[in-house]
Amino acid sequence: MHSATRQPLTALGIDLAFVIAFVALGRDTHGDAALVDPVGYLGALWPFGVSLLLASAAVVVLRGRTDGIAAGLVVWFVTLGGGMLLRAVSGQGTALPFVIVAAVTLLVTLVGWRLVLAVARRVRAARAERR
């Protein structure tokens, strides 16, 4: 697979893993483990999953690269906003404490791994320049 194709798919895979973990931890925190109630888990996951897919597609179309910090901010904003909107229209809760926890958790994960990657790239480039 060409690297231009692989990069967005890799970023989407990482983002999706974080969204799946976010929903699983949230459900588990409230005593609704995914293995005990898989339908409830999927019901909680789909709004964020659909929003993440839309966000990732938008970033690919508008920016090309999906592993930069700016791309992460777009992915975070669309995933959070779209996820909350889809939860609201489907009758799921959007209580303010949940929105805050989701916003912080998704920001730290969806932008955080990109930030770590950016720092690692700069360190690698600085080391290469010194050689």
CA angle in degrees (0–180, nearest 5) for 50-56-62? 135
In the predicted model, what is the mean pLDDT of the chain? 90
Question: How large is the C-alpha radius of gyration of the chain?
Answer: 16
The residue extents of the domains of the chain are 3-130
Residue 111: both structure tokens together: 């932008």
d(CA 7, CA 61): 13
Whole-number Cα distances in Å, 53 to 19, 24, 46: 11, 18, 10
What pLDDT digit, counting tens, does each position of 2-36 carry?
Answer: 454 568 899 999 999 999 999 999 888 877 665 67
Confidence class of residue 56 from pLDDT cuts 50, 70 and 90? very high
